[in-house]
Amino acid sequence: MIYVAYLCVVSPEKTTPFISMLRDGGLYRELTRQLYPRQIGISALRGCANSFLVIQFWLDERAYQVARNTPSHPILLSMMKK
């Protein structure tokens, strides 16, 4: 298993939607579940102010590399930046 981490700073008014999309049943979680079956899960740790450490759990490095090379990967990452 490998872990991939992203640091996200979210504006205060978008904090609740950001958390919701990462939870079970949330848009980001459901999309990644469908597009990346070898992604085990995702977790967000809240830091100071409105910062989050988002950690993705993958079966192996190959699974992550394959996902990174899909056309959907940049779109999904942009969801975390908005």
Which domains are assigned to the chain? 2-81 (3.30.70.100)
pTM for the model: 0.85
pLDDT at 78 over 90: no
Q: Which helix (H) or strand (E) holds 44?
A: strand 39-46
Burial of 22 (0-12, 13-18, 19+ CB in 10 A): buried
DSSP state of 60: -
Q: What is the mean pLDDT of the chain?
A: 92
Q: Using the structure block, give the residue that is written with the tokens 């699974």.
A: 63
What pLDDT, on the 0 to 100 scale, is given for residue 81? 73
